[in-house]
């Protein structure tokens, strides 16, 4: 008979997963989209009809055709193929950046949360200092020292994003650390490593959401670096580089390279950002 459920159902939201309404369809759609994008990035080279540096001057600056689905660039290279090859690079860069920064950030957050007190205050202070340096700037400085390319910017951006991730995760970790079940575990003498494993598991939804969200941001920023010429160098195919490389052609009336690369960037970033945001809301909200 218990009708407590009915009245309260008006006020308490049920867990998102059980409710198969419009909202979770949207999440599934986003998940699928991101999965497809990741797949394309992984398999890019196998799907590409041409090699990324297969130049054919006679076919330069052509619009979409049956031979070249999106067209060719100024050197006659197939834009679609370059896009597919570039996907691998762009996504790899973004993935590395975000994974490294999340690992670093989570470690800092967990340490900070576990020891608390002076350690926490110190790390908060240090983080505040590092956050004062924008990621782009760190990458630029790294490139100054090490020269342009792939690894220097990736590592630099990873290090630059870590403080931001650490700050966000730190507050979540602290909350989790003070939860009753963690205190109980600590009292019963379970090893520190084990307990931190529990805390990690507790904050993992937020970590996942931040990772997804950060992937989009990293993709964007790495592209920006290549765009200004400090990242990946020609003739390597990368989306940001393609946007700038195609600019002269665009101004001359052949926008296919620039547009295609730009659209791919936007779609990727939108998909992953929205997914990250959705994950944050459904998983994070459960706590």
Partner 1 sequence: MTALTAEAPVAPRPRTTKGSSAGRRWMRHAVRWIVIPLGTVLVTTFLVFAALSLTPGDPVAQILGGKATDEQRALLRQQLGLDQPLVLRYINWVLAFVRGDMGMSYTYHTPVSSVIAPRLEITIQLVTFSALIIFIVGIGLGLLGGLAIRIRPAVAGVVALLISVPSYVAATALLGVFAVSLRWFPSFGAGQPGVDRLWHLTLPAIALSVSWVAYMTQISMASIDDQRAKEHVRTAIGRGLPTRVVVRKHVLRNAGVPIVTAAGLTLAALVAGSVVVETAFTLDGVGSLLVRSVGTKDVPVVLAISVLIVIVYVVAMAVVDLLHVALDPSLRLRKGRV
Partner 2 sequence: MIGQPEASSPLLSIRDLEVWSSTSGQRVPVLRGVDVDVRAGEAVGLVGESGSGKSMTLRAIMRQLPAAFEASGSMTFRGEEISQMRSGRLARFRSDELGMIYQDPRAHINPLWTVGDFLTEAVVVSGRLRKREALARAKELLEEVGFRDPAGQMRQYPGQLSGGLLQRVMIVAALMPEPALVLADEPTTALDVTVQAEVMSIFADVIRTHGVGLVFVTHDLDLAAATTDRMSVMYAGRIVETGPSDVVSTHPTHPYTSALLASRPSLHRRRALSGIPGQPASAASAGPGCSFAERCGFVQDACWSHGSALEVVDAVSASACLRTPELRTRLKRSDA
Interface residue list for partner 2 (CB under 8 A): 1-4, 6-8, 10
Q: Which of partner 2, partner 1, none binds 242 (CB below 5-8 Å, type-dependent)? A: none
Q: Closest separation between CB of residue 116 and partner 2, Å? A: 24
> For residues 72 and 196, which CB has a smaller minimum distance to partner 1 in the complex?
72
Q: At what angle do helices 151-177 and 192-227 cross, to 10 degrees?
A: 140
Let me know how long the chain is.
287
Q: Which two tokens stand for residue 59?
A: 């076919």
Shortest distance in whole angstroms from residue 243 CB to partner 1 = 6
Six token digits for residue 85? 């090859």
Q: Which does 192 bind (CB under 5 to 8 A by kind): partner 2, partner 1, none?
A: none
- Report the alpha-carbon distance of residue 122 to residue 107 in Å, rounded: 15
Indicate the residue among 110 and 265 with the shorter CB distance to partner 1.
265
Which residue, 128, 37, 121, is CA-closest to 84? 37
**CB closer to partner 1, 59 vs 141:** 141
Nearer to partner 2, 10 or 132 (CB): 10
Return the SS3 of 73.
coil
CA dihedral 245, 249, 255, 261 (to 10 degrees): -10
C-beta of 183: minimal distance to partner 2 in Å? 24
Task: Enter the tokens of residue 216.
Answer: 């989009």
The pair of structure tokens assigned to 33 is: 């989209």
Which residue has 């507790």 as its token pair? 202
Query: Which listed option, partner 1, partner 2, none, makes contact with residue 270 (CB within 5 to 8 Å by class)?
Result: partner 1
Contact at 8 Å (CB) between 260 and 254?
Answer: no
For the bound state, the minimum distance from the C-beta of residue 228 to partner 1, rounded and expressed in Å, comes to 5
**b or e along 91-107 (b: 16 or more beta carbons within 10 Å of the residue's beta carbon)?**
bbbbbbbbebbbebbbe
Question: Which whole-number Å values give the CA distances from 143 to 62, 97, 136, 273, in the listed order?
Answer: 35, 15, 11, 27
Q: Which is nearer to partner 2, 6 or 188 (CB)?
A: 6
Residues near partner 1 (CB under 8 A): 128-130, 132-137, 140-145, 216, 220, 223-224, 227-230, 240, 243-244, 247, 250-251, 253, 255, 258-259, 262, 265-266, 269-270, 273-274
CB of 73 to partner 1, least distance (A): 14
Comparing CB distances to partner 1, the nearer of 190 and 244 is 244
Output the smallest distance, CB 89 to partner 2, in A.
48
Q: Tell me which of partner 1, partner 2, none is bound by residue 1, counting a contact when its beta carbon lies within the kind-specific cut-off of 5 to 8 angstroms.
A: partner 2
Task: Decide which of partner 1, partner 2, none touches 33; Cβ closer than 5 to 8 Å per partner kind.
Answer: none
Residue placing its CB nearer to partner 2 in the complex, 4 or 193: 4
CA distance 116 to 134: 27
Gap between the Cα atoms of 129 and 106, Å rounded: 18
């Amino acid at each position: 008979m218990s009708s407590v459920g009915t009245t309260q159902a008006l006020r308490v939201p049920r867990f998102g997963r059980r409710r198969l309404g419009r909202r979770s369809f949207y999440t599934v759609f986003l998940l699928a989209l991101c999965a497809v994008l990741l797949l394309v990035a992984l398999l890019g080279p196998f799907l590409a009809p041409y090699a990324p540096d297969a130049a054919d001057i006679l076919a330069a600056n052509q619009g979409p055709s049956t031979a070249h689905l999106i067209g060719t660039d100024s050197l006659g290279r197939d834009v679609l193929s370059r896009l597919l090859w570039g996907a691998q690079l762009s996504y790899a860069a973004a993935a590395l950046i975000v994974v490294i920064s999340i690992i670093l950030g989570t470690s800092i957050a967990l340490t900070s949360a576990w020891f608390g007190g002076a350690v926490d205050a110190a790390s908060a202070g240090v983080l505040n200092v590092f956050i004062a340096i924008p990621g782009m700037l760190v990458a630029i400085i790294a490139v100054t020292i090490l020269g342009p390319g792939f690894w220097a910017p990736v590592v630099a951006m990873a290090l630059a994003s870590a403080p931001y991730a650490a700050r966000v995760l730190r507050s979540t970790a602290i909350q989790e650390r003070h939860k009753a079940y963690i205190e109980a575990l600590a009292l019963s003498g379970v090893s520190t490593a084990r307990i931190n494993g529990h805390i990690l598991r507790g904050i993992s939804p937020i970590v996942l959401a931040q990772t997804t969200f950060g992937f989009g941001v990293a993709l964007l920023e790495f592209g920006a670096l290549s765009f200004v010429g400090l990242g990946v160098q020609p003739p390597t195919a990368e989306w940001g580089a393609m946007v700038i490389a195609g600019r002269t052609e665009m101004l001359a009336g052949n926008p296919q390279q620039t547009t295609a690369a730009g659209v791919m960037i936007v779609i990727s970033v939108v998909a992953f950002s929205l997914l990250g945001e959705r994950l944050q809301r459904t998983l994070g909200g459960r706590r």
